[in-house]
Chains A and B, each alone.
With several copies, the nearest count.
Chain A
Amino acid sequence: MQISARRIDKITIFDVIGDIDLANSPEVRKALLKELKEARVPRVVMNMSKVRYIDSSGVASLVEGLKASRDVGSRFILFGLSPSAREVLQLSRLLKIFEVYDDEAQALA
């Protein structure tokens, strides 16, 4: 998995490529918390379009991002969910808890 950050105005976009699982979910968590808790970026957007698979530990990292965003009053957004990622959030009853969009344009609007 590779995670890299882009900055557009006051929005940070994380582009994630590859599977998110136990091997790398701590890295995702760290990147999210840094941006939300330390940098206090008002909007953090996860580009999930290249994430084929996300496991329960990856979902846990996203939930931590969500919690942190609520703590600091920022928005935390996901877009481009694959069928597998969508299923996992649905199974976790989190699909409606996250702010989810189809594509980047919607996520940045």
Chain B
Amino acid sequence: MSGELLLKLELRSDPSMLCVVRGTMERLTEVLGFSAAECRSVTRAVDEAITNIMRHSYKNQPHKPIELQVLRLRPDARSGRGDGLEFLLCDRGPAVDPAKMQGRRLDEIKPGGLGLHFIRQSMDIVEFKRARGGNLLRLVKYLQPATPGEAGKRRESLADLGPTNR
């Protein structure tokens, strides 16, 4: 699946750029018609994904390149998918051990291990791969589920959030 490129953002792995990216994402999701809660949730997922690149892929070195592409996915009658957004995050860090890509159990109370949970709770698709000497994280968020099956799946994964999130 590939959509229309809405925006490409290149930045360095300097944590002070995170709030700049959030500023971009807040407006972009607003423009695209996401609800206020969904705007916050998508912005948070992209923010946490970049935070992970800065901390884990680049081990807090602040001058490494990060690229974020945002594509618009159009409704697709064949797959029954609705309108959506695709986020492609690329870094040039070393290959990631997929076994390590895991948050902590949420019933333990300890610092850390939350970022991947936030990303998974927000996004409909989360995929990592190694490509062209870098890491590629692909996130997809549908604007409105086009089929009842999709809607059910989405609601299920958000079941424990309570009413304020939706």
Direct A–B touching, Cβ under 8 Å: yes
Give A residues with C-beta under 8 Å from B.
19, 21-23, 53, 55-57, 59-61, 63-64, 66-67, 83-84, 86-88, 90-94, 97
Q: Report whether over half of chain B's contact residues are helix, strand or loop; otherwise say mixed.
A: helix
CA distance A66 to B109 in the complex (A): 10
Q: Flag if A23 contacts B109 (CB, 8 Å).
A: no
Q: Is B1 close to A, CB under 8 A?
A: no
Size of interface on B: residues with Cβ below 8 Å to A: 31
Chain B residues 1 to 55 lying within 8 A of chain A, measured CB to CB, are 15-16, 18-19, 22, 36-37, 40-41, 44, 47-48, 51, 54-55
**Closest residue of B by beta carbon distance from A97:** B109
CA distance A73 to B154 in the complex (A): 42
Q: Flag if A64 contacts B18 (CB, 8 Å).
A: no
**Chain A residues positioned under 8 Å from B111 (CB to CB):** 59-61, 63-64, 67
Q: Is B147 close to A, CB under 8 A?
A: no
**Can you list 19 pairs linking A and B with CB atoms under 8 Å apart?**
A19-B19, A21-B15, A21-B51, A22-B15, A22-B54, A53-B22, A53-B44, A53-B47, A56-B48, A56-B112, A56-B115, A57-B51, A60-B112, A67-B109, A67-B110, A87-B37, A87-B41, A87-B165, A93-B106
**Chain A residues positioned under 8 Å from B74 (CB to CB):** none
Give B residues with C-beta under 8 Å from A.
15-16, 18-19, 22, 36-37, 40-41, 44, 47-48, 51, 54-55, 106-107, 109-112, 114-115, 117-118, 121, 160-162, 164-165
Q: Report whether over half of chain A's contact residues are helix, strand or loop; otherwise say mixed.
A: helix
